[in-house]
Amino acid sequence: MRKIIIPFLSLSFFVIASPILGQQSNIKPLRTLIIDPGHGGQDPGAKGTLESEANVALAISLKLGDTIAKAFPEIKIHYTRTTDILPGNLTNLDASLKYRANLANDNNGDLFIAIHCNSAGKAPGGWYERRVVGKTPYTKTVKKGKKTVKQTAYKYEYDNVWVENKAKGTETYIWAIGKNDAKINSVAKNDFSGEMDSTSTLSLPDPTDPAEKVRMLIYTQNFFRKSLQLADYVQEEFKDADRIDRGVKQRNDKGIWVLQATAMPSILIEIGFISNKEEEAYMLSPEGQKEIVGNIFTALKKYKEKLEEKAAKSAENKEKKSF
């Protein structure tokens, strides 16, 4: 009985695993792109002084899609939303997150790009804080035992001081759980200043669950390098445009749920801090939007060319082998 079961199991593993593992050698060109503007509808995301993250993300996403469509008409583009709604016009945040991932997977995306804005501090723009602004010395007499002595004391002056919300710059997230790579900064939960889908109850894969472990391994083998490559290109472009480069990061919390749920290379770009007045103005201006879109587009173009280069090389190798 045992002898029959073992070959059967290994054969079924091969049948299941080979289409997935086979992707490694077949370098797929970039044909289907999923663009995911973060938040939307009832979920405005982080708030700026003038505009919501959801609307900024949507504007950038649509312009990015237009630019890519013009340059590469062969790429099929799917948006998770094109108006100010939660994807799928859903009213439940978790369901809308699943909708984003399903849309990407059902359309066999080759790449998933999510667009978000970062946020930090107590309020967009800045806030008032009660602080000591000056002290005046005066002399007071105090009793020390039977004696009275003179002592210098201070009278403090307080005022409400305006504290500017200064955090700024760009960062790109990838899903890289369990990966130790010098290029990626791991962000601890408390470190993270942003807002990302904080009301979601979806949980990340449990690394102790064998089925989840297999899925994580497949993601790591097939999609991790590509995601990192593109994330790197994006940050390079931002840096060249004199934006503050906060780096390529991974985060192990709900904010990246959608990245691990898509069976394709995936990145999440935080295009700037909407809580910073200066960056908000930049992200809302036509020039700023043009530059951000241009940066992401150039990165994507490099990524696409790299894929094609690799595909050409692998075809060349195959040809050599057949002789």
> Looking at beta carbons only, is 98 or 116 nearer to Zn ion?
116
Written as six digits, the tokens of 37 are 């503007």
- 184-213 binders of Zn ion (CB under 5 A): 196
Query: Minimal distance in Å, beta carbon 140 to Zn ion?
Result: 54
Contact 201, 156 (CB under 8 A): no
Q: Specify the residue, 45 or 265, whose C-beta has the smaller distance to Zn ion.
A: 45
The distance of closest approach from Cβ of residue 177 to Zn ion in the complex, given in angstroms and rounded to an integer, is 20
The answer to whether residue 116 forms part of the interface with Zn ion (CB under 5 A) is yes
Q: Please report, as residue ranges, which positions from 134 to 163 form the binding site for Zn ion (by CB under 5 A).
A: none
The nearest distance, CB 114 to Zn ion, in angstroms, is 8
Residues 6+ apart with CB under 8 A from 111: 30, 32, 33, 34, 226, 230, 264, 265, 266, 303
Within positions 84 to 113, which residues make up the interface with Zn ion, using CB under 5 A?
none
In degrees to the nearest 10, what's the CA dihedral of 246, 249, 252, 256? Answer: 90
Question: Residue 164 carries which side chain, given as an amino acid letter?
Answer: E
Q: Check residue 231 and report its DSSP letter.
A: H
Check residue 169 for interaction with Zn ion (CB under 5 A).
no
For Zn ion (CB under 5 A), the number of binding residues is 4
Compute the least distance from the CB of residue 231 to Zn ion, in Å.
16
Smaller CB separation from Zn ion, 196 or 263: 196
The yes or no reply on residue 38 touching Zn ion (CB under 5 A) is: yes
Q: What is the nearest approach in angstroms of Zn ion to the Cβ of residue 43?
A: 9
- Which residues inside 278-297 make contact with Zn ion, applying CB under 5 A? none
**Of 37, 40, 45, 272, the one binding Zn ion by CB under 5 A:** 45
All residues at 6 or more sequence positions from 187 whose CB lies less than 8 Å from its CB, including other chains: 249, 250, 251
User: DSSP secondary structure string, 17-77?
Assistant: HHHHHGGGTS---S-EEEEEE--BTTB--SB-SSSBHHHHHHHHHHHHHHHHHHH-TTSEE
Q: Which residues bind Zn ion (CB under 5 A)?
A: 38, 45, 116, 196
